[in-house]
Amino acid sequence: MLSMAHILKTLNSWFWWENIWMPVNVTWAHFVDRDGLVFPKPHQLYATIPYAFVLLIIRFFSERYVAIPLAKALGIKNARRVKPQPNPVLESYFRECSKHPSQSEIQGLAKKCNCTVRLVEKWFRRRRNLEIPTVLRKFQEAFWRFSFYLTSSIAGFIFLYDKPWFYDIWQTWVGYPFQDFLAHVVHHLAAIGLMSGSWCGNYVRLGTLVMFVHDTADFWLEAAKMFNYAHWEKTCNMLFIIFSIAFFITRIILFPFWILRATLYQPTYYSTTPVIAYFLFNGLLLILQGLHLYWGYLIFKILRRFICLK
């Protein structure tokens, strides 16, 4: 009987099989550091685990000691929810059966608890309200996302503004030996996603551009949400318009005509036999672009309704 260790070893060997990721005469040996060149290593992704815990700690303190005072300054109050009376029978039914019991179920629960139907309905109504995030909680979440996206965008610009491929997408392929370029078309996406795949395949240049293009619009949306929760309608509307413009520029124009052009079209200048990972990587990017078009359609509907109301 096969042991779990043998199964995992077999799966690992299959996943990193060179015939999947790269053409003939190109091996993982080309990713060994040499001649002053340093290549990303998959095991370096383990460093993201402690970073994730650090981000959780930063989020906890920023939401509590920055977002809450800011919300109060904007006039957002912490609404107190009335908790229902402790009732093990109703609580068990709420958690395990239904949060919206039918009238017949309410009558049965009323008999079981020896109380009126109205009290049971009131208990479920209050219990459901506890599940709904308060406006303050929504503001805290929007503040964190705003802070994260804004910081990410600023950091992305700082790290990329002096790089040649930030202005000329062709530079993402310049300076690589032929065999290394083919290895760079290895996108490692099947199980570890676009970002980790870009890192593992030394496809960092385009990966950073993809992240930058995505983050530069999102913090405007989160800022609009924050002011919406504070009922600053004019500020919210202005920020949403800025977000819409940034979204259409980055997701509808730059992403397909800049990023996708670099991943779909430009590699053919270096190799006429793209590897399997080429199709996996671009397939995920095309799915992402499909979502961009869908979200763009929804944003356009909101803008049209906003303009019509004006």
Per-residue pLDDT tens digits for 184-211:
333 233 334 566 656 655 666 777 787 7
What domains are there in the chain, each with its CATH number? 22-77+134-309 (no CATH), 88-131 (1.10.10.60)
- Residue 177, sorted as left (phi over 0), alpha (psi -120 to 50) or beta, turns out to be beta
SS3 of 65, please?
helix
Low-confidence ranges of the chain (pLDDT < 70): 1-2, 18-26, 30-31, 35-40, 42, 164-204, 266-275, 277, 308-310
pTM for the structure as a whole = 0.63
Determine contact, residues 76/153, Cβ cutoff 8 Å: no
Which residue carries 């970002």 as its tokens?
195
